[in-house]
């Protein structure tokens, strides 16, 4: 049914997500400090408010889509006093598992329901309403969140208790980073062995080394015409965003005492590559593999 939803953070992701909630018949009250984001949201039928607290007054659901955990924490501190008891808080930002658990406690202490619900699918998925939501939280909170997420979602997966959504996302993206580097290394090795890009693609996509990093995000032009490599590495999934997610993976490895040399190496390689290439698709890491191979 239609609800009053506060949407905090109307950026590249939040803007189109809020627009899909409006289209589904909800009353969406938004806040973002950036004027361009306010204007785009207004165009999409969002009622833009003067402050986050004002957006939250009278809302039965509060969704945050913010850049980082520090901003989610400060935003919760700011708006919790304005929310009615039992309001459902959904945080779809990508933040650390530890921050997710801390903001959950903050919300529950104030008498609210709360889930972490990070997404994959990018701006394309946000616009099309086909995001994959990975949700962490108690059954009651998940049951309340699922129908709210539906107009923005292709898939909603209940991953477990608080923080499980962020845990799923950080694990997936750590694997993805390792895969994208590994297939880049294989293409560079193949080039030096005289094996064609097309042959490597055709063999590996039908064999045990296959992955999304190859069959969809192929880092050389040709074999997969829709991959960013065919378009100057225009993202796609920008290196800067992958680098942010790998920082969260490193934090999770450290806080759990997990030794993961490949994940750690991927984080170090992307951190260096992001210095000058943050706006390129993360498959462009193959160019640094080629350059550092020496000849």
Cβ proximity to ligand NAD, 96 vs 204, nearer residue? 96
Determine if 225 is a binding residue for ligand NAD (CB under 6 A).
no
Q: Which of 21, 37, 164, 229 binds ligand NAD (CB under 6 A)?
A: 37
Q: Under a CB-based contact definition with an 8 Å cutoff, are residues 21 and 151 in contact? A: yes
The span of 18-26, 118-126, 271-279, 285-293 binding ligand NAD (CB under 6 A) equals 118-126
Q: Which of 241, 246, 266, 274 binds ligand NAD (CB under 6 A)?
A: 241
Cβ proximity to ligand NAD, 74 vs 258, nearer residue? 74
Determine if 33 is a binding residue for ligand NAD (CB under 6 A).
yes
Determine if 75 is a binding residue for ligand NAD (CB under 6 A).
yes
Q: Which of 21, 28, 29, 32 binds ligand NAD (CB under 6 A)?
A: 32
Alpha helix positions (H), the chain: 14-23, 35-43, 52-56, 69-79, 97-109, 122-128, 139-149, 164-193, 197-205, 212-215, 239-256, 261-277, 285-292
Q: Which of 122, 160, 161, 209 binds ligand NAD (CB under 6 A)?
A: 122
User: To 10 degrees, the CA torsion angle through 247, 250, 168, 227?
Assistant: 50
Q: Which of 61, 65, 134, 204 binds ligand NAD (CB under 6 A)?
A: 65
Q: Which of 110, 123, 157, 260 binds ligand NAD (CB under 6 A)?
A: 123
From the candidates 23, 124, 155, 169, give the one annotated as an active-site residue. Answer: 169
Of the CA atoms within 13 Å of residue 78, those in its CB half-sphere come to: 16
| 103 φ, ψ (degrees, to nearest 5) | -70, -30
Cβ proximity to ligand NAD, 44 vs 241, nearer residue? 241
Q: Report the SS3 class of residue 196.
A: coil
Whether the CA torsion 134, 13, 99, 89 is positive or negative: it is negative
**CB of 219 vs ligand NAD, minimal distance in Å:** 19
Determine if 157 is a binding residue for ligand NAD (CB under 6 A).
no
CA 190 – CA 204 distance, rounded (Å) = 12
Q: Which of 67, 84, 111, 222 binds ligand NAD (CB under 6 A)?
A: 67
Q: What is the DSSP string of 124-145?
A: HHHHHT-EEEEEES-HHHHHHH
Could you tell me which residues are beta bridge partners of residue 63? 7, 90
**CB of 220 vs ligand NAD, minimal distance in Å:** 23
Q: List the one residue out of 77, 78, 107, 74 whose CA is nearest residue 90.
A: 107
Residue count, binding to ligand NAD (CB under 6 A): 26
Determine if 11 is a binding residue for ligand NAD (CB under 6 A).
yes
Please give the angle made by the CA atoms of 45, 50 and 51, to the nearest 5 degrees. Answer: 110
The reply to whether 124 belongs to the active site is no
Determine if 236 is a binding residue for ligand NAD (CB under 6 A).
no
Give me the active site residues, please.
Answer: 169
Binding site residues, ligand NAD, CB under 6 A? 8-14, 31-34, 37, 52, 65-67, 71, 75, 93-94, 119-120, 122-123, 241, 244
């Amino acid at each position: 049914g239609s609800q009053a939803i506060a949407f905090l953070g109307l950026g590249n992701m939040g803007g189109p997500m809020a627009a899909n909630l409006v289209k589904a018949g909800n009353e969406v009250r938004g806040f973002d400090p950036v004027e361009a984001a306010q204007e785009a949201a207004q165009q999409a039928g969002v009622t833009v408010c003067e402050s986050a607290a004002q957006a939250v007054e009278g809302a039965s659901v509060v969704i945050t889509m913010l850049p980082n955990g520090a901003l989610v924490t400060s935003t919760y501190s700011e708006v919790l006093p304005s929310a009615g008891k039992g309001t459902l808080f959904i945080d779809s930002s990508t933040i650390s598992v530890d921050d997710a658990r801390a903001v959950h406690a903050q919300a529950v202490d104030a008498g609210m329901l709360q889930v972490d619900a990070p997404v994959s699918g990018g701006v394309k998925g946000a616009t099309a309403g086909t995001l994959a939501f990975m949700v962490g939280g108690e059954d009651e909170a998940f049951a309340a969140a699922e129908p709210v997420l539906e107009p923005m979602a292709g898939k909603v997966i209940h991953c477990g208790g608080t923080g499980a959504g962020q845990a799923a996302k950080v694990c997936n993206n750590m694997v993805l980073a390792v895969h994208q580097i590994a297939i880049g290394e294989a293409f560079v090795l193949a080039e030096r062995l005289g094996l064609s890009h097309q042959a490597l693609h055709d063999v590996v996509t039908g064999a045990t080394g296959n992955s999304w990093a190859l069959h969809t995000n192929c880092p050389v032009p040709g074999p997969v015409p829709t991959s960013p490599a065919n378009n100057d590495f225009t993202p796609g999934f920008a290196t800067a965003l992958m680098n942010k997610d790998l920082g969260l993976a490193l934090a999770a490895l450290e806080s759990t005492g997990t030794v993961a040399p490949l994940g750690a190496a991927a984080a170090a390689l992307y951190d260096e590559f992001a210095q000058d290439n943050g706006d390129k698709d993360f498959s462009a890491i193959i160019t640094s593999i080629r350059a550092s191979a020496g000849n």
